[in-house]
Amino acid sequence: MTYAPPSSPQSIGGVVDDALRLFRTSFGRCWLLAIIPGLILAVYEMAFPVAVQLHSVLSYSAALRAVMGSPRVVALDLVSLLLTLVFQGAVLVREIAVVRGDESFTLVRALATSVRRLPGMILGTVLFLLAVAGGLALLILLVAAHGLAVSLPDVIGFLALLVLGFWLWGRLQLWTAALFVENARATAALGSSWRLTKDRWWRAATIFTVAVIIVLVFTVVFSFVGGLVAALSHTSLMGRAAVLQLFTLGSHAIAYPLDAAIWLAMYHDFKLRREGGDLAARAGALGSAA
């Protein structure tokens, strides 16, 4: 199965359909990359209760605090997050190769490319989160620290920051695709997303919302079926947890490539619209000059 990106801007439904075509075409190249971070997370989640039980002399809540505050657990959390970013990036790299028709782009090469882009992914993620939720998080921390009574100005400020964060989310959501497609720095990728979504915030938000709903449907179905199978299985608690994690891996195998396909389909469509608009503006300027 081959994939050819659209040569002209699509409707919202057309962009979603394009993303699904890219997902189907690239799935065979991406599913392994998608389940590896899920497998790492599954092992981590299954080992966590065991670590808590090792603190048997403590109450469960005290043991939980002791484990969560352990430097080793904090380090493992950080490593897990970095690995997730690496494999997400590798999935995106392999799908970009599919879009470009590059059959020679191997799994190892995709991982190596993602590792090279990791500093940009980390910086971009931090800047994105600060832009979208930084003010809101600061307000919540201040209220929690000082125990301020909730007043009308507090509520208004909270809602204003919420709306601002949602608006920035719509403007900056294409930065990950831009980071890899354009081989850009994190700040340049955020700037590219800002430029591409100018005057098209509602379109970006609508497409991404539809995409999130599609991904959530898959996730809920896998979780429900996994929970049902685990409940009906006559195994130990660890056995049922293993069954749930297997279905979670299936969810990862779909969600990661689908997310990447949506980002790339949106990026391509918005790029066509922005460049087409620029061409039309230049043609109009030339006509006026003539």
pLDDT at 148: 56
Residues 167, 201: contact at Cβ < 8 Å? yes
- 1 in a structural domain: no
pLDDT band at 229 (very low <50, low <70, confident <90, very high): confident
Q: How large is the average pLDDT for residues 173-196?
A: 94
- What CA–CA distances, in Å, run from 90 to 4, 29, 93, 277? 21, 10, 5, 32
User: Which pLDDT does position 285 carry in this prediction?
Assistant: 45
Q: Residue 283: inside a domain, yes or no?
A: no
- pLDDT, one tens digit per residue, over 149-184 is 666 676 777 788 888 888 999 999 999 999 999 999
pLDDT tens-digit map of 273-284: 887 655 444 444
Upper half-sphere CA count for residue 234 (Cβ side, 13 Å):
0
Q: At what angle do helices 12-54 and 107-116 cross, to 10 degrees?
A: 80
Report the alpha-carbon distance of residue 196 to residue 272 in Å, rounded.
9
| Residue 148 falls inside a structural domain | yes
Lowest mean pLDDT among 29-38, 54-63, 105-114, 125-134: 54-63
- Main-chain dihedrals φ then ψ at residue 236, nearest 5 degrees: -75, 175
**DSSP assigned state of 141:** H
Q: What does the pLDDT read at residue 9?
A: 87
One-letter identity of residue 124 = G
pLDDT digits (tens, 9 = 90+) for 4-20: 888 888 999 999 999 99
The pLDDT value given to residue 124: 93
The structure tokens listed for 95 are 């799908």
In a domain? residue 4: no
Q: What is the pLDDT of residues 231-258, one digit of tens each?
A: 777 777 667 777 777 787 888 888 889 9
pLDDT at 67 over 90: no
Higher pLDDT, 145 or 79: 79
First-last CA distance in the chain = 48
What pLDDT shows up at residue 211?
A: 87
Q: Is 261 a member of any domain?
A: yes
Q: What confidence score (pLDDT) does residue 281 get?
A: 47
Q: What is the pLDDT of residue 92?
A: 94
Q: How many residues does the chain have?
A: 290
Residue type, 241: A
Give the pLDDT mean for 190-212: 92
Question: What is the 8-class DSSP label of residue 149?
Answer: P
Express as a percent the part of the chain with pLDDT over 70.
Answer: 76
Q: What is the mean pLDDT of the chain?
A: 80
Q: What range does the domain containing 74 cover?
A: 12-278
Amino acid at 248: T
For residue 86, is pLDDT > 70? yes
Give the residue among 117, 80, 102 at the shortest CA–CA distance from 29: 102
In a domain, 7, yes or no: no
Q: Are 199 and 4 in contact (CB under 8 A)?
A: no
Q: pLDDT tens digit string along 55-66?
A: 444 444 554 455
- pLDDT band for 40, please (50, 70, 90 cuts): confident
Question: Does pLDDT of 125 surpass 50?
Answer: yes
Instruction: Report yes or no: 150 and 158 within 8 Å, Cβ to Cβ.
Output: no
| Out of 92-101, 124-133, 226-235, least confident range | 226-235
Is residue 246 domain-resident? yes
CA-CA distance, 137 to 143, in Å (whole number)?
Answer: 10
Count of alpha carbons within 13 angstroms of residue 248, beta-carbon side? 18
Q: What domain count does the chain have?
A: 1
Q: Which residues of 244-265 are buried (b: 16+ CB within 10 A; e: fewer)?
A: bbbbbbbbbbbbbbbbbbbbbb
Within-domain flag for 224: yes
Tokens at 197, concatenated: 């979504």
